[in-house]
Amino acid sequence: MSAELRQLRRRCEAIAGRLPLMRPFDAHELCRRVAEQRGRPIHLTPVTGLSEAHGVWLSTDTADLIFYEDATALPHQEHIILHELGHLLCEHYRTGIPEAGHLRSLLPNLDFKVIRTMLARTSYQAVEEQEAELLASIIRHQAEHLAPNDIGGRIRAAFDWPRRTRG
């Protein structure tokens, strides 16, 4: 593993370690808890036909909006939500503007000038996509390794410590 990838993984693990994870895991509940911690709402909106993107995160002056593909399996929807939440948690910002038609289909009631003002960004760089994807996977992994009412399990999950085996 390269030094850059190790550094990226450590950063993602640190971010995930500060999250209010729960078991059983629920991406919607995690977003609600993150929004509460940040004092800023996160609105999750299922949409159909997002093409290859599957999800979009938009940040406005008052809230964060996560759009995710509705026409896919629930585990995939949750991963899309976690990926977009990853962009938010990593504080990624885009440069440029997405295609106008695509945005109008997501936000039909907003004037495109408002949308352009909200965004002022278009596509993430490869490292930002990699970071968001890695963070989504780490969040899911840590949440799956939490044991209900097991503080030791939660600590191990936060630090990814394996259980000691006798042998």
Buried b (16+ CB within 10 A) or exposed e, 147-158: eeeeeeebebbb
CA 39 – CA 167 distance, rounded (Å):
48
Comparing 51-55, 122-126, 133-137, which segment has the lowest mean pLDDT? Answer: 122-126
Buried b (16+ CB within 10 A) or exposed e, 39-63: eeebebeeeeebeeebbbbbbbeee
pLDDT digits (tens, 9 = 90+) for 51-66: 667 888 888 788 899 9
CA 146 – CA 22 distance, rounded (Å):
7
According to the model, what pLDDT value does residue 121 have?
38
Tokens for 1, please give them.
């593993």
Comparing 27-31, 56-60, 77-81, which segment has the lowest mean pLDDT? Answer: 56-60
pLDDT digits (tens, 9 = 90+) for 32-50: 999 999 999 999 999 887 6
CA 19 – CA 25 distance, rounded (Å):
12
DSSP state, residue 145: T
Q: What is the mean pLDDT of residues 65-77?
A: 92
According to the model, what pLDDT value does residue 85 have?
97
pTM: 0.73
According to the model, what pLDDT value does residue 118 have?
44
